[in-house]
Amino acid sequence: MPDNKIHTVLLSLLRSGLWGENENNKILPLSDEQWIQLYNCARQHTIEGIVFDGLQRLPFDMLPPRELMLKWTVKIDQIERRNMQMNICIKEELEFFNDQGIYPVLLKGQGVASCYDVPGHRVCGDVDWYFEQKKEYHKANRMLKQKGISISGTAGFSTEYVWRGILTEHHTRMFDIHNPFCFTYLDRLQQQFYNERLKREFQGHALLLPAPILMILQVNVHILKHLLSFGVGLRQLCDSARVYHTFRTKVNGQELKQIYQTLGILKWIHLLHTVLVKFVGLPLTSLPFELPDASDADWMMDEILMSGNFGFFHPRFEGKMENAGFVRNHVTRRVWSNMRRYFKFAPMEAVSFPLVQFYSKLAVK
């Protein structure tokens, strides 16, 4: 595991790349070996593109060794190409859906990437479509099967398939909230902000995104979901910070605070906000409401730094290669550990998450 100096420099470069501001890196320079460790850590958290942007603001004599810079530059080119491939995939899927009279909403991914100064340097994952009507969800799946595309069910009552080498998921729920007592309330929220959905021009097509307040909520509860399972990487924190900053004048902070309170996750949101400000560099003025005076979230950041992207690299629960893919070990122990850790901050979610995941897996089978 990288030492504290490497994590300190990593976060400094992350903030510089994320916000375009220089930081006084007093503990630089690093040794060649430390730079390699920092690069590997950035890759584990899928933030190598953002950190690379931060490197561009360093004096020449503080840059990583030439061999590593060349390797890093090649990686950035790969990230940019992957983003272009992702955009082609979204364009084609959008054309396919629209031809069938279906107009889904894009969640996370490239919609969130548009909130970054350099969208092409955000490492992209998969494509997530939300279908507001279940009949459209089933129609889209049926049309894809008729097209000869293999679709499979996933935990969480969703489906997935591969289009142009890109994993795509279909959802009938916009939010990763598992407390069943909140479902009716979430439906009302979507109706309340229906007319505030964002419509963006995307390669000649109209792309629907959630309303700003719902996009913020969706990104943040997605982070909580993964913290309750295996963990998240720094990229997910960057997503939250950039979405908050981009829509800071478009959202009623007190209204959002009440939503968090009603969902029973406000205490955890305070932790998240503290991490975003203290470690990711989100300006206090971009927060929707004030931070409490005593929000100690250092322990949560320590867990995130150890876990890597979605918990694949946690030293206590190291993953392994299997069937040419990376899988996690100690699944039950990890979920139980995270449930106990976050129970006092989001009790109903901590209890409901494993139950819903277990039930949905049975439904898939």
| Amino acid found at 12 | S
Residues paired with residue 169 on neighbouring β-strands, in sequence order = 128, 160
Give the strand pairing for 166-171 and 127-130.
Answer: parallel
Question: Strand 166-171's sheet: what is its strand order?
Answer: 152-154, 158-163, 166-171, 127-130, 105-107, 205-209, 198-202
Q: pLDDT tens digit string along 68-117?
A: 999 999 999 999 999 999 999 999 999 999 999 999 999 999 999 999 99
Taking the model in full, what pTM does it have? 0.89
Task: Decide if 233 contacts 269 (C-beta within 8 A).
Answer: no
pLDDT band at 170 (very low <50, low <70, confident <90, very high): very high
Give the strand pairing for 158-163 and 320-322.
Answer: unpaired
Task: Say yes or no to pLDDT of 301 above 80.
Answer: yes
pLDDT at position 343: 84
Higher pLDDT, 309 or 347: 347
Length of the chain: 365
The residue ranges of every structural domain in the chain are 182-197+211-365
Task: Say yes or no to pLDDT of 320 above 50.
Answer: no
pLDDT at position 150: 95
- Report which secondary-structure segment, H or E, holds 193: none
Tell me what the mean pLDDT of segment 305-325 comes to.
52
Tell me what the mean pLDDT of segment 235-248 comes to.
98
Q: What gap in Å lies between CA 326 and CA 148, rounded to an integer?
A: 27
